[in-house]
Amino acid sequence: ISEASSNVGDLLEELDEGLFNLLVEVGKVADDSGLNLYIVGGFVRDLILGVENLDIDLVVEGDGIEFAQKLVTELDGEIKESHQDFGTAIVNLNNGLKLDIASSRIEYYEYPAAPPQVEAASLKEDLFRRDFTTNALAIQLNSKKFGKLIDYFGGQEDLDSGLIRVLHNFSFIDDPSRILRALKFSNRYDFEIESLTRELIEHAIDQDVIKGLTTGRLGNELALILMEKVAPEILLDLNRFNLLKYFHPDLTWTEKEYNLALKVTNIKEWLEGLGIEEEVDNCYLYLMILVRSLDKDDIRDFLLKFKFPNDLVSKAIFVKEEVKEILNLLLQSRLQSTIVYHKLNDLSIEEMAYLALITDQPEVKEWIKDYLVKLRRIELEVTGKDIIELGHDPGPCFRRVLSKVKDKKLNGELDSYDDEYKYLKECLKRLEKGGKN
């Protein structure tokens, strides 16, 4: 293993001023405690790549929890979480930044995919326990060595040549989730997976190591993947490596799903062009596309097993339950706006985006547009006050009558307050008659 080091202080200086000053301050607190302190992992990788990353992972050569306590006294903040066994702490600073602090440590695995055991060790050993060379870089923060890049495993060179490479042959056996991480990082940065690393992945997959991961960890990795910009590409890789079966035996992500996912951007642009303010969450749509070949019960089981949030479960089931029915409805001729309004009014923006995504029919998109820019914004000018003034006592019939007026307005049959008022009176009269009969 060759050890190279250089200084990236100039890159740190290009960071947001508040963040830069914080790193300097944190380094000084470490100086005062006589401890070596480093920022490590994804932050360093992204700093060198010029990608913004606000995940601050610190490693201190010494007691991380003691250091966290000193930090919160000196820098105004609080310890949000600490784990004595692991020597880790999370610090929330009052300026809104969050620091993850770890004691440099050696983690060893008692058996494949077991939770890591922890012992005190040097920075180098800590870094050696990490997944890829590009994620095993550190920058020292102590004043005298501020900005010193520590690169024991050739991470900088791999960043330059765009390679994802493990540090040792047991990496994927120790932690099978790294297989998914390798596919995520290689797609995110458009890096190659180095050839030996690729062989190790294939070998680990042959050994079925992913089976050893808990559903919590697997689900977490899938959720992280779905949040990536390049999720459609990563899912193609998961399919290629035959990994989707660990989530559900019937899941697939072929060119068909991929092409649909690529259209998500077009649909979002279309919605933006209509002036729709709600943000469509890509990951919801990707998930809806992913589960569309499963049946309803399987979708529910899959999402609950991997602990996806409940609102997502209902969105995904929507894919199965209602889509066909709504699409058919929106294709009917002489369809009334009121009916469209009541059908689409219960849907989330993602569900409407999904409808627009899977249809080739311009009528469907027209109706969605009509609902979003016009129908849902229609408000009545008459109110309950008008009904009271017409001599009625407040009661449940108010809502019924007002919704009748609204339906007529949605259909474009009432153009002014006077129209609404006239129709309101008609409805009340009819109601009275009905009551008397």
Tell me which residues touch ligand CTP (CB under 6 A): 41-42, 55, 57, 130-131, 135-136, 175, 177-178, 181
Q: How far is the CB of 21 from ligand CTP (least distance, A)?
A: 22
Helix (H) or strand (E) holding 202: helix 195-206
Amino acid at 278: E
Whichever of 188 and 268 has its CB closer to ligand CTP, that residue is: 188
User: What are the DSSP E strand ranges found in 183-252?
Assistant: 192-193
Contact 238, 183 (CB under 8 A): yes
Helix (H, G, I), strand (E, B) or coil at 319: helix
Helix (H, G, I), strand (E, B) or coil at 120: strand
Whichever of 4 and 51 has its CB closer to ligand CTP, that residue is: 51
Q: How far is the CB of 185 from ligand CTP (least distance, A)?
A: 8
DSSP 246: G
Residues 423 and 409: their CA atoms lie apart, in Å, by 10
Q: How far is the CB of 147 from ligand CTP (least distance, A)?
A: 19
Whichever of 25 and 46 has its CB closer to ligand CTP, that residue is: 46
Whichever of 105 and 408 has its CB closer to ligand CTP, that residue is: 105
Q: How far is the CB of 45 from ligand CTP (least distance, A)?
A: 6
- Contacts of residues 376-384 at CB distance under 8 Å and 24 or more positions apart, as own/partner, are 376/341, 376/344, 376/345, 378/406, 378/409, 378/410, 380/405, 380/406, 380/409, 380/420, 381/416, 381/417, 381/420, 382/417, 382/420, 382/421, 382/424
Q: How far is the CB of 115 from ligand CTP (least distance, A)?
A: 12
What counts of helices (H) and strands (E) characterise the chain?
Answer: 22, 12
Whichever of 307 and 324 has its CB closer to ligand CTP, that residue is: 307
> What is the CB neighbour count within 10 angstroms for residue 118?
18
Whichever of 40 and 352 has its CB closer to ligand CTP, that residue is: 40
Q: Report CA 159 to chain centroid distance, whole Å.
A: 25
Whichever of 169 and 254 has its CB closer to ligand CTP, that residue is: 169
Q: How far is the CB of 135 from ligand CTP (least distance, A)?
A: 3
Contact 53, 63 (CB under 8 A): no
Whichever of 175 and 351 has its CB closer to ligand CTP, that residue is: 175
Whichever of 40 and 251 has its CB closer to ligand CTP, that residue is: 40
Residues 432 and 429: their CA atoms lie apart, in Å, by 5
Residues 101 and 83: their CA atoms lie apart, in Å, by 10
- 154-176 CB burial, b ≥16 within 10 A, e <16: bbbebbeeebbbbbeeebbbbbb
Q: How far is the CB of 12 from ligand CTP (least distance, A)?
A: 17
Helix (H) or strand (E) holding 225: helix 215-226
DSSP 274: T
* Token code pair at residue 205: 């997959």
Spatial CA neighbour of 149 closest among 307, 11, 276, 315: 11
Q: How far is the CB of 246 from ligand CTP (least distance, A)?
A: 16
Whichever of 41 and 232 has its CB closer to ligand CTP, that residue is: 41
Q: How far is the CB of 81 from ligand CTP (least distance, A)?
A: 15
Q: How far is the CB of 288 from ligand CTP (least distance, A)?
A: 23
Whichever of 20 and 128 has its CB closer to ligand CTP, that residue is: 128
- Cβ neighbours for 278, distance < 8 A, ≥ 6 positions apart: 271, 349
Give me the residue whose beta carbon is nearest to ligand CTP: 42
Q: How far is the CB of 262 from ligand CTP (least distance, A)?
A: 22
